[in-house]
Structure 1
């Protein structure tokens, strides 16, 4: 028997749900943007913050300036609902540590927000080498986006880091504000590589259907990556 709720009692509002999808976006391509849209849908998020790294700690220097990469990201997103080009790492000096970015988002959206850091399987395999990896789980959940071309065994350090954290569904992940790990095979799984895009641009080959049209037009008009 279900007792009726007392008059005037309403359900509390759902805590905000948002994801951070970071990277160099050098340049942003359709794989990045399609992954963001599918994350939004599968996890029932309110927003996905696409955050360009200013100085990525574990990668080489991007080919174009942070400001240009942010502009390309904004062009690529256009008016897509729920996607945000977030410049917060460009306003910070020094390396772009994800733990600091998550702390900034946590401070902005509150302790009850369901905060997710999404990353590809290749980046996930290096997670134990990141700056303060345990702090990532204190701030957020991690969602690993499987890629068709990245499969490898986990290192002992990574296995120890994620032990006891893995869940098997978005609902289980969203039961708490942070601390979980979910592996997610997105429906489209577009295996587009920014490295390949840059190579094609440098060689003067077509990048049609690899990039959003507005991004392609801007790159070609300004001769970016043509060296």
Structure 2
């Protein structure tokens, strides 16, 4: 018996639940803004890892410009050996639209009920959250973290206000006190205003993309001529 009167080992602290985030997107192409946001998200919330998940068929966006396989290859090149970042192909391996609720359900099954699971998204996507597939289910599976933009002060749509009622917290540890169900608006240190649309235009017209993409991504794009006619 231990000094607490419990069997030896029973009073040892249990390991903390894993902290994992999903950061989805078309990554068409992945750029340093995506990657830097993932790194800073990992740091800000003391995450074990961030799953960067390319969408195969985004329900609320147009068809991506290059194939799923090419976008996954670019993402893997961009991540390289960065600690804590994972290129996760699960949406590319699933038939049908790329619903975030289904992806979160898949991660939740793998991680268990006590894991702190986060879905991170940008401000523009956040404004349309109430229009997503099964928006209430998102909060039963995960927390939502909005990577905020200081230049966005517009009022939220009524449906979104209703969806978020009573969920918002002010800091990361309050978020992580539960496995799911809360909302945090998070301002990251490096807010890079890099547009994938502008990158595609530059690639299509032969303009420089140096320092906007990781070197390995830029080299791959140029050798294969991706987005050349986008």
Note whether the superposition's TM-score is higher than 0.5: yes
Is residue 46 of structure 1 aligned with residue 44 of structure 2?
A: no
Runs of 5+ unmatched residues, structure 2: none
Q: 1:64 & 1:147 partners in 2: Cα distance?
A: 28
1:107 corresponds to: 109
Task: Give how far 1:10 is off.
Answer: 1.1
**Count of residues paired in the alignment:** 224
1:73 corresponds to: 75
Among 155, 171, 177, which residue is 1:153 paired with? 155
1:163 corresponds to: 165
> 1:30-66 CA distances to partner (integer Å, 9 max, x unpaired)?
0000000001000000000000000000000000000
Among 133, 136, 139, which residue is 2:135 paired with? 133
Task: Give how far 1:147 is off.
Answer: 2.5
> 1:144-193 CA distances to partner (integer Å, 9 max, x unpaired)?
00124544210000000001000000000000000000000001111111
**93-102 or 151-160: bigger deviation:** 151-160
2:187 corresponds to: 185
> 1:72-114 CA distances to partner (integer Å, 9 max, x unpaired)?
0000000000100000001110100000000000000000000
Among 119, 122, 134, which residue is 2:121 paired with? 119
2:38 corresponds to: 36
Q: 1:76 & 1:161 partners in 2: Cα distance?
A: 35
Q: 2:39 & 2:194 partners in 1: Cα distance?
A: 16
SS state of the match for residue 18, structure 1? strand
SS state of the match for residue 53, structure 2? strand
Q: 2:212 & 2:47 partners in 1: Cα distance?
A: 26
Runs of 5+ unmatched residues, structure 1: none
1:186-201 aligned at under 5 Å gives the runs: 186-201=188-203
2:227 corresponds to: 225
**RMSD over aligned Cα, in angstroms?**
1.1
2:100 corresponds to: 98
Among 76, 82, 88, which residue is 2:84 paired with? 82
The ranges of structure 1 where at least 4 consecutive aligned residues each deviate by more than 3 angstroms after the TM superposition are 4-8, 148-151
Q: 1:170 & 1:181 partners in 2: Cα distance?
A: 10
SS state of the match for residue 91, structure 1? coil
2:17 corresponds to: 15
**39-48 or 6-15: bigger deviation:** 6-15
Q: 1:126 & 1:111 partners in 2: Cα distance?
A: 27
> 1:99-131 CA distances to partner (integer Å, 9 max, x unpaired)?
000000000000000000000000000001100
Q: 1:151 & 1:203 partners in 2: Cα distance?
A: 34
